[in-house]
């Protein structure tokens, strides 16, 4: 009986986590390719868009409180717009993509600053597929995080968390919501 109790106690201790588990800060199922007014003109938190428009077929990812960042991006390629040279349309000309995590952080005394953390490169195919799986050192507070997929060779973004909703959004409901069906 004593052996069973000792074995049960050891098993119970082994099942207790050694530290607090990481919590998800952000999870997404879509990203927005640099396009329109974001092309080479408008910075988002100090990060400039590429000089040519890009599109993304699909993207998903997550960021946890311990800095674990996972991104799966498919079809991140130049658009088929007239400003893109014909030989680049529909392809990715980078051999790697990087990720950038942008956080607003409280510096105290009423001051907030932007902290941008960039990963190393991850292989990218000519068809614009890449999987980024890494851990970044987040600041003590990471408020309103934005995730970018960057060029592997320069600090310009190709995709950012967000979506183009104009073609998929449902029309606004008339009147205030009732909360009942």
Instruction: Tell me phi and psi for residue 76, to 5 degrees.
Output: -90, 100
Tokens of 87: 């030989």
User: Where is 32: in which H helix or E strand?
Assistant: strand 31-33
Per-residue pLDDT of the chain in tens (181 residues, 90 and over written 9) = 444 433 333 333 334 444 568 899 999 999 999 999 999 878 999 999 999 999 999 999 999 999 999 999 999 999 999 999 999 999 999 999 999 999 999 998 999 999 999 999 999 999 999 999 999 999 999 999 999 999 999 999 999 999 988 765 455 555 554 444 4
The residue ranges of DSSP E strands in 65-164, in sequence order, are: 68-74, 77-78, 96-108, 111-118, 122-123, 130-135, 143-151, 156-161
**Per-residue pLDDT tens digits for 27-47:** 999 999 999 999 987 899 999
Give the count of beta carbons closer than 10 Å to the beta carbon of residue 171: 5
Q: Which residues of 104-118 are buried (b: 16+ CB within 10 A; e: fewer)?
A: bbeeeeeeeeebebe
* Spatial separation of the C-alpha atoms in residues 71 and 111, rounded to whole Å: 31
The per-residue pLDDT of the chain, averaged, comes to: 86
């Amino acid at each position: 009986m004593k052996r069973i109790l000792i074995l049960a106690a050891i098993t119970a201790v082994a099942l207790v986590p050694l530290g607090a588990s990481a919590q998800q800060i952000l999870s997404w199922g879509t990203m927005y390719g640099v396009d329109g007014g974001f092309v080479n003109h408008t910075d988002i938190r100090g990060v400039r868009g590429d000089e040519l428009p890009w599109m993304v077929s699909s993207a998903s990812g997550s960021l946890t409180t311990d800095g674990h960042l996972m991104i799966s991006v498919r079809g991140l390629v130049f658009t088929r717009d007239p400003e893109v040279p014909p030989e680049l349309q529909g392809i990715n000309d980078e051999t790697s993509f990087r990720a950038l995590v942008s956080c607003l952080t409280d510096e105290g005394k009423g001051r907030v600053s932007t902290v941008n953390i960039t990963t190393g490169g991850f292989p990218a195919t000519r068809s614009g597929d890449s999987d980024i799986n890494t851990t970044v050192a987040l600041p003590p507070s990471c408020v309103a995080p934005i995730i970018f997929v960057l060029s592997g060779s320069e600090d310009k973004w190709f995709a950012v968390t967000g979506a183009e909703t104009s073609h998929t959004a449902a029309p606004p409901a008339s009147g205030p919501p009732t909360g009942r069906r």
